[in-house]
Chain A
Amino acid sequence: MTKIVIDKVRHKYRPARGKPVLALEDVSLEVRDKEFLALLGPSGCGKSTLLYLMGGFLPVESGTISIDGKPIAGPGPDRGVVFQHFALFPWKTVRQNVLYGLERQGLAREKREAVAKKFIDLVGLSGFEDNYPSQLSGGMKQRAAIARTLAVDPSVLLMDEPFGALDAQTRALMQSELLGIWRASPKTVVFVTHDVQEAVYLAGRVVVMSARPGRVKAIIDTNFDKTAPDVLRSAKFGDMVDQIWGLVKEEAIKAQMGRGT
């Protein structure tokens, strides 16, 4: 079943000064219901732009994006977003952050508190409910942001390099926990990253995007059993990473060249 249909989307990025830049060129893509899809590409390829278009944060000017058959019109709680730099409300505690979306839904007080507690526990932040984001480490901030997003129960999870600002160990830990959470209650996930290993490990399908202007270069099926503890060192995993890295590398070089001139 198809969840999100992206059809011939073009997008121009208009900086405050300077000429508009073509960020996305004729992107068409179908995201299946409850699949974990990775958008992979060199920096500046427009993968985040595509995610923001799905989120409804940027206007779709050319082409269409529809979710469950309906064209998107602005952001909404059906699509939860997790940003690289967390975007937690710094003046609210972890609990208040998680409660924010639940309050907007108008749930009864006890119900809200119960749901918040459930998701704070799920991401392993019990004991830190009353801390402000500034008192948390990067990994814990992202856990709080994920709890806040999951709490409103969106059917689509849009993640913009969520582990990109974390150290390597924290990132590895967060990846396996995210996968655990997703396996326990699958949602449609669109996960933007420039890390090939991360994409192959997390996603069932990896969309490789070209250097700017972004196009869909290839879609690779990476859906195999990754539950084994040493899957990251298995031959199959290694081959897949190599194959996809080959595709990304060309684009990364192009992106570098484009930036150099």
Chain B
Amino acid sequence: MAGIDETIAGPGLGSRALTMLARWALVIALVIAWELTTRARVFTPFMLPSPERVLARIWDDGQAGDLFINIGLTLYRALTGFFIAATLGLLIGVAIARGGALGWFFDPVVSVGFPMPKITFLPVIVLWLGLYDTAKISMVVFDAVFPVITGTVLGIKSVEKELIWSARSLGSRERDIWPRIVLPAAMPQIFTGLQVSLPIAMIVAVVAEMLMGGYGMGGAMVQASRMADSPGIFAGIVEIAVVGWFLVKGMATLRRRLLAWHPEAETPTGV
């Protein structure tokens, strides 16, 4: 009880630690439950290896170097795909928001493409591009581009006309309006699109690796599964969770830096 009162009273040192603890409570509870379940032998160690065994496995993979090769490759595919998706998404989003012929072309393409499960195109991509990086990165781009497009279109469409009018009456030339006013004003929503897109890029990179094989975190897990290497499978899940967490946190930090002016930037959020 005392702890809770303290949290309400304000940010003391104790309450800060408590808030941190509360944020991680679920994760900690999950690990404890995992540990207890394995100790109680609810499942065989093959079905559910203990946290120590999984950690030891991650350590061994690290020692052998495989861990870093796999993480590096997956990140390379996810991030390359993400940056291409971000660039393309921004360009297509601007085209749609501006209307015109390009927008007229892309608008229906996006409406049909966004809700479609992009994985259905995997056989086609494999047929055209093979099984290596180009194919995997293409899958990432294909999936991750849509949130950026919608974020950009919505961001641009919600720019207040008074902002543009102000800029014009302050002497802006027509070609200054987009780069100097519209895009900065739309930035919070564009960034939200990017924040949605990055985890998708990571997910698709892993899934593509699982389906196409080869090195990478997804490929390693499928390999472990084939070898009936149960600590390897669980090690993969933990590794992907940790890498994903760093990516999402990194994006949130970047947002707070870049969009310090945005009121939302001041409130701490989980994402």
Contact = CB atoms under 8 A, between A and B. Distances in A.
Interface in A35-89: 52, 55-57, 74-77, 79-81, 83, 85, 87-89
A213 interface: no
B251 interface: no
Given A91-B185, A132-B261, A77 B165 contact: no
A81 B171 contact: no
Contact of B262 (A55, A79, A90): A90
Contacts of A134: 261-263
A85 B162 contact: yes
Contacts of A89: 163, 166-167, 181, 184-185
A81 B261 contact: no
A77 B263 contact: no
Contacts of A93: 261
A168 B238 CA distance: 58
Contact of B165 (A75, A88, A133): A75
Nearest to B176: A104
Interface string B180-222: 0100110100000000000000000000000000000000000
A85 B163 CA distance: 10
Contacts of A126: none
A194 interface: no
Interface in A70-126: 74-77, 79-81, 83, 85, 87-93, 100-101, 104-105
Interface string A142-167: 00000011001010000000000000
Interface string B216-260: 000000000000000000000000000000000000000000011
Contacts of B262: 90-91, 134
> Main SS of chain A's interface residues?
loop
Contacts of B171: 76-77, 101, 104-105, 152
Interface string B158-178: 001111011111111100100
Contacts of B187: 91
B170 A55 contact: no
Contacts of B263: 134
Contacts of B172: 104
Contacts of B166: 81, 83, 87-89, 148
B163 A87 contact: yes
A81 B163 CA distance: 11
B165 A57 contact: yes
B118 to A, nearest CB: 33
B181 to A, nearest CB: 7
Nearest to A78: B169
Contacts of B167: 89, 100
Nearest to A84: B162
A91 B184 CA distance: 7
A74 B165 CA distance: 10
Contact of B170 (A74, A90, A100, A133): A100
Contacts of A52: 165
Q: Which of B160, B166, B176, B260 has the most CB of A within 10 A?
A: B166
B218 to A, nearest CB: 39
A75 B187 CA distance: 25
A88 B170 CA distance: 12
Contacts of B161: 57
Nearest to B261: A132
Given A89-B184, A90-B262, A77 B169 contact: yes
B185 A55 contact: no
Contacts of B170: 77, 80, 100-101, 104, 148-149, 152
Given A87-B160, A134-B262, A74 B168 contact: yes
Contact of B162 (A79, A83, A132): A83
Contacts of B160: 85, 87
Nearest to B170: A101
Given A92-B261, A93-B261, 8 more contacts: A57-B165, A77-B169, A80-B169, A85-B162, A89-B166, A89-B184, A104-B171, A152-B170
Interface of B: 160-163, 165-173, 176, 181, 184-185, 187, 259-263
19 contacts: A52-B165, A55-B165, A56-B169, A57-B161, A76-B168, A76-B171, A77-B170, A83-B162, A83-B165, A87-B160, A87-B162, A89-B166, A89-B184, A90-B261, A90-B262, A91-B262, A101-B170, A101-B171, A104-B172
Closest 8 pairs (CB-CB, A-B):
A101-B170, A104-B171, A87-B162, A75-B168, A77-B171, A132-B261, A75-B169, A134-B263
